[in-house]
Amino acid sequence: MNKPYNYKKVRTLQFPSLLLVMLLIISGCETDDVQTVATFTNLIMADEFNTDGTPDRSIWTYDIGRGPNGDGWGNQELQYYTNRTDNVKVDNGYLLITAKEEAFEGASYTSARLKTQGLFEQQYGRFEARIRLPYGKGLWPAFWLLGNDCDQNIWPQCGEIDIMEYLGDSPTVTFGSVHGPGYSAGEAETKEYELENDRFDTGFHIFGIEWGPDYINYYVDGDLYNQITQNDVPGEWVFDHPFYIILNVAVGGTFPGSPNEDTTFPQTMLVDYVRVYENNITD
């Protein structure tokens, strides 16, 4: 069911980490392992989506179509990605990415996939977004990073960091993952985060990572629930170069399956802001 999006915007800066390099026992990780936490407080990129119309062209560009090989972006996804305002626009202080059921260019669904490739690419830091997710079987929204060398080093060699992935028929659960050589697709290093007494489609939540030279920490609403380090991956650690940001809503595919008779369209992912911080302490 579609929800109205005329909520009052909340502007809260999240700084869950307190010292440059600390070793803390983080209960939210559900482990007794020592966790590395860093401070990233220098804001270097932000889109607050305060100007209605098309997304800021100095930050965002688009993937268009059904993938380079026409195969649903390698996942058998069903949508055709467009840059039409029907599928992507800024309105009332939010970025709206809308999946629609419609015949378009040989596909049965349309949606949008924004990226900062060639416009903003960053190695290390805190990446976060405040998002309200859609609902329904077959919907697959994501907020993620892809290595900027993906044209030369074909995925998964370029690396992929999934800050948030979500299946529309499981509205209390999101996933954080990394993909690299030897640990990609169904073998990715991943962990889920489950809300208690709440849902991701009925309100906004903040999804973020803090990424350093040998670790990636995963947060939901400031809670650290996972840390992935070089020692956790069975192959090469490929998270040592700039990555760019992607926001998208896929329909169907190998992970979520196809929509069913209970899935209603259109469905919209609302993004309140995207922010990136770097460490403001130098040696």
DSSP secondary structure letters along the chain: ------PPP---------SSSEEE--GGGTS-S-EEE----EEEEEE---S-BS--TTT-EEE-BS-TTSSIIIII--EEE--STTTEEEETTEEEEEEEEEEETTEEEEE-EEE-TTT-EESSEEEEEEEE---STTEEEEEEEEETTTTTSTTTTT-EEEEEEE-TT-TTEEEEEEEBTTB-GGG-EEEEEE-SS--TTSS-EEEEEEEETTEEEEEETTEEEEEEEGGG-SS----SS-EEEEEEEEES-TTT----TT--S-EEEEEEEEEEEE-----
Level-2 CATH architecture, domain 43-278? Sandwich (2.60)
What pLDDT score does 7 carry?
28
For the whole model, what pTM was predicted?
Answer: 0.88
pLDDT of the chain along its 283 residues, tens only?
333 323 233 333 333 433 333 333 334 444 445 567 777 889 999 999 999 999 999 999 999 999 999 999 999 999 999 999 999 999 999 999 999 999 999 999 999 999 999 999 999 999 999 999 999 999 999 999 999 999 999 999 999 999 999 999 999 999 999 999 999 999 999 999 999 999 999 999 999 999 999 999 999 999 999 999 999 999 999 999 999 999 999 999 999 999 999 999 999 999 999 999 998 655 4
C-alpha distances (whole Å) from 156 to each of 62, 208, 235 are 21, 21, 11
| 192 is a catalytic site residue | no
Q: Which of 228, 202, 226 is nearest to 214 (CA)?
A: 228
Among 77, 165, 189, 210, the active-site one is 165
| 160 is a catalytic site residue | yes
Amino acid at 163: I
What pLDDT score does 13 carry?
37
Q: How many of the other CB atoms lie within 10 Å of CB of 2? A: 12
Among 30, 77, 102, 160, the active-site one is 160
Q: Please tell me whether the peptide bond between 4 and the residue prior to it is cis, using omega within 30 degrees of 0.
A: no
C-alpha distances (whole Å) from 186 to each of 5, 69, 178 are 34, 21, 11
